[in-house]
Amino acid sequence: MKKKNIVWVFIHLHKTGGTTFNVHLAKELRNRLLHLGPRKNQLEFNKLSRKEKQKIRAIVGHQVYYGIHKIIPNKNYRYITFLRDPAERLVSQYNHYISAESSEKEIFFEEWYANYPKNEMTRFFSKRFKPRKLIKFSGSSRDVLKYIHTASSWKRFVQALKTIQTNIFEKRKIKTAKKLLNNCWFVGITENLDDDLRFICNHIGISTNWKNMRVADKKESWKEDFILGNSKPSQRKFTLNEKIRQRIYEENPLDIEIYNYAKKLNKRLKNE
């Protein structure tokens, strides 16, 4: 398979090292990179000539989803994404948020985390997988009837029904998220960023000499460019401890499952 005929598609989950990869791709590929984010969308891409579209070698940005490769016909495609330890990623997300927050009142991690959506990684990959099929509630009718029969009050029945619905949707989310990862050419792990980026860049055929971007407390890693804009460096307002780590693990079981699944894929894909 000729490298020039491959479109590399990067599905970017926040706080996983994606900006480092995006900036390096922009430097290496220049006008052959399509960035679908705040400054460019698919409508602008549609205005390009057929010849200009065929020059695209990589698609990146937070608007990317599985299936986006179809906008460039007659090309082979390879999807790439990265996952990170759920606790490490959440603390990084908090430090990024609180550093950019202009409010005079400081929001402490405990308060921020209490209101933050759980199992975010699983939800992210589930939403990024298209096309989707209608959800089938096989067996759920029997479960509902069983709870109607045993429930001693309407309140208990409603609660039981919510539990059934939650379980169905959670199973669907993790299944869909795994489907997306299974369809990726490579699934990277942020903790292995240096090795994984070297592996990817070698296959793309670009330099492996990149710079780590958006490193907390390191001003020089937050220079202005087309992705970072005028962002200011994150400060380490909160440092992860073992108690919080275990709490995050317990309260985000789907993310733990998808992260462990990704690590197995990562190991297998590098050895193929």
pLDDT of residue 1: 55
Which is higher by pLDDT, 131 or 63?
Answer: 63
Residue 202 token pair: 């070698």
Whether residue 193 has pLDDT greater than 90: yes
Annotate 178-243 with DSSP letters as a single string: HHHHHT-SEEEEGGGHHHHHHHHHHHHT--S-----S-TT-GGGG---TTTTT-----------HH
Spatial distance between the Cα atoms of 250 and 16, rounded to a whole number of angstroms: 21
Q: Sheet holding 33-35: strands in order across? A: 33-35, 58-60, 6-11, 76-83, 186-189
Average pLDDT of span 192-203: 95
3-123+184-271: what fold? Answer: Rossmann fold (3.40.50)
Predicted confidence (pLDDT) per residue in 200-232, tens digit:
999 999 999 988 865 555 555 555 555 555 556
Cα end-to-end distance, the chain, whole Å: 16
Question: Cβ(53)–Cβ(72) under 8 Å?
Answer: yes
Residue 131 token pair: 């096309």
Spatial distance between the Cα atoms of 187 and 192, rounded to a whole number of angstroms: 11
pLDDT of residue 73: 87
pLDDT of residue 154: 56
Spatial distance between the Cα atoms of 46 and 34, rounded to a whole number of angstroms: 11
Average pLDDT of span 254-265: 97
- Mean residue pLDDT of the chain comes to 82
What are the sequence ranges of the domains in the chain?
3-123+184-271
